[in-house]
Structure 1
Amino acid sequence: MKRMLKFSPILAPLALALSTTASANPLGLTGPQDFIIRVGGYYISAGDDEVSFVDDSFRTGDAFRSNVDPGSEWGWYMNLEWKPVEHWGIELGYMDGDNHTSSHADGIFLQDLEDVDYRDVTRFDADISTASLKFYPLDDTCMVQPYIGGGISYTDFGDSGLNRAVRDDLAELGRRGNFEMGSSWGYTWQMGMDFNFGRDSSWLVNVAAVYARSETDMRLQLLEDVQPTSDLNLLIESYSGDYSYDPWMFNLSVGYKFSF
């Protein structure tokens, strides 16, 4: 339930708008309204980006670069689609992210660890919500239904932090570190295909490729691993940089069609 609440910034108002539209019926639709629910898994491949981290305090002028290359992961997703007229659909989707490990760094942001090599510096996950308008070129009698679509996306980055090897090395120096990521609004587009089990069947199998534009702020902080006192500044250094996540997702799901 906690994860499902993450995509409320985009899905809750849109779902309300769709329900209001369907009840008001401004398009003059007289027949039953078709809906499709799809649930399945996806394989996500995130973007590789060289991020330049800059000292937020501008006191020392320190800066460094890190290659952020998250490993590809598996996850699950679901979507609900409303087809008010033939050939067109409005889809709300949610993709639950799995943990990525990322950031190969030849030198970490603390000078005392410059000679240390890390393969994985950070971890994070990303939950993606989308709202898309889809076009189906074939009529509803066809058992195979290809489509294309596009719309907006919202990416919520969570469960972020430094990996254990980095935390342990910092602890030996009496330091600790924080790693945080923001959220991101962007656009999405997709192409896919529904395979119906039969002309009168309500069940289908779906395959799709989905792209989401997602750019977020990464922030690294270095702190003294002690309780702050009146003559001690707990925060030592803070760095931030922009990262282009921009994932591709390849979906496989089972769907069910129904009408009102």
Structure 2
Amino acid sequence: MKKSLVIVSLLALGTASPFAHAYKAGDFIVRAGAAKVDPDIGDSHVSSTATGKVAGSSVDVSDDTQLGLTFGYMLTDHVGVELLAATPFKHSVSVKGLPAGLNGKLATIEQLPPTVTLQYFPLDSSSKWQPYVGAGINYTTFFNEELTDGRKAQGFSHLDREDSWGLALQAGVDYMLTDRVVLNAAVWRIGIDSQATARHPALGKVKVSVEIDPWVYMVGIGYKF
């Protein structure tokens, strides 16, 4: 009798409490995890008032990993909007292909890349797996630019970097651990085209132009409200 009651109870629970729907209109989803910015350098070069564009010159920007945060809102059961945020990323900027003594690390910079994407979730909301794709716009702001001590000794000064607007593409997947908690993995491809300037007594105004165009990878955990 006791075994029968247990079996009946389990069947009743299974019938009355199916897995809750993953997402529906009006849901908020907050995700946090490790986010890595991995620059994929496109066109880059160095130029100055005295020399013009330096043939064969190029720029390199290091990667960095920080705390990533995303804030999502479901407009419908299948369409959402999301903001990507993070703690500041710090990068080293190096130059190559210049005359002897001018190559190597130029400066360090910090940046924040807030990105807004419109997302599409194709699967039924009853699925524990929720892949999605998105497209949107990025605004990257640079700050705390600092020339290396070696560059300052060479006479470089007044480093400044322009902020950037660009398009962003995204793909990701959520796995519903419970009806509230999710595991998440996502990747963005962001268009960042920036230009840094500095001053030098002999070279005049020096410009460092670079298409950073990074891949941004994030793995974390989220919670649905």
Q: TM-score range by the shorter chain?
A: 0.7 to 0.9
> For 1:116 and 1:213, how far apart are their aligned partners in 2?
32
Q: TM-score, normalising length from structure 1?
A: 0.70
Instruction: Verify the 8 A CA contact 1:153 1:186 in the aligned structure 2.
Output: yes
Q: 1:167 aligns to what SS in structure 2?
A: helix
Which of 197, 201, 205 is the aligned partner of 1:238? 205
Q: In 2, are the aligned partners of 1:96 and 1:128 still within 8 Å (CA)?
A: no
Residues 213-247 of structure 1: per-residue CA shift (max 9 Å, x gap): 11112212125xxxxxxxxxxx9711224321111
Residue of structure 1 equivalent to 2:112: 127
Cα separation, 2, equivalents of 1:151 and 1:61: 38
Pair 1:249-2:216 in alignment: yes
- The CA distance in 2 between the partners of 1:252 and 1:121, in whole Å, is 31
Q: Which of the residues 135, 141, 152 maps onto 1:167? A: 152
Q: Distance in 2 between matches of 1:240 and 1:117?
A: 14
- Does the 8 Å CA contact 2:196/2:208 hold for their aligned counterparts? yes
Distance in 1 of aligned mates of 2:136 and 2:97: 38
- Name the larger-Rg structure: 2
Q: Give the distance between the partners of 2:52 and 2:76, measured in 1 at CA.
A: 57
Query: Does the alignment pair 1:35 with 2:19?
Result: no
| Alignment CA distance shift 1:240-1:32 (3 Å) | closer
Q: Given that residues 101 and 122 in structure 1 are in contact (C-alpha distance below 8 angstroms), is that contact kept between their aligned partners in structure 2?
A: yes
- Among 171, 175, 198, the alignment partner of 1:195 is 175
Q: Secondary structure at the match of 1:166?
A: helix
Decide which structure has greater strand share. Answer: 2
1:74 to 56, 62, 65: 65
**Residue 117 of structure 1: how far off its partner (Å):** 5.4
- Aligned-pair CA distance for 1:61: 4.7
Cα distance in structure 2, aligned partners of 1:102 and 1:91: 30
**1:193 partner amino acid:** V
Tell me: CA distance 1:50–1:153, structure 2 relative to 1, closer, same or farther (3 Å).
closer
In structure 2, give the amino acid aligned to 1:41: A
Identity of aligned residues (%): 22
2:136 to 130, 151, 157: 151
Counterpart residue type for residue 101 of structure 1: S
- Indicate if the aligned counterparts of 1:41 and 1:252 stay in contact, CA closer than 8 A: yes
Q: Distance in 1 between matches of 2:129 and 2:75?
A: 19
String of CA shifts for 1:24-57, please: whole Å, max 9, x gaps.
Answer: xxxxxxx97211011111111112245333335x
Do 2:59 and 2:208's aligned partners in 1 also have CA atoms closer than 8 Å?
no
Instruction: Report the alpha carbon displacement of residue 94 of structure 1 after superposing the two structures with TM.
Output: 1.2
TM-score normalised to structure 2 length: 0.80
Output the CA distance in 2 between the equivalents of 1:37 and 1:118: 43
Q: Secondary structure at the match of 2:75?
A: strand
Q: Which amino acid aligns with 2:143?
A: G
Quote the RMSD (CA, aligned, Å): 2.2
**Alignment pair present for 1:185 and 2:175:** no
Q: Deviations over 1:98-156 (max 9, x none)?
A: 2211223343xxxxxx4315331221122101111100111111111100000111011
Please state how far the C-alpha of 1:207 moved relative to its aligned partner.
Answer: 0.3
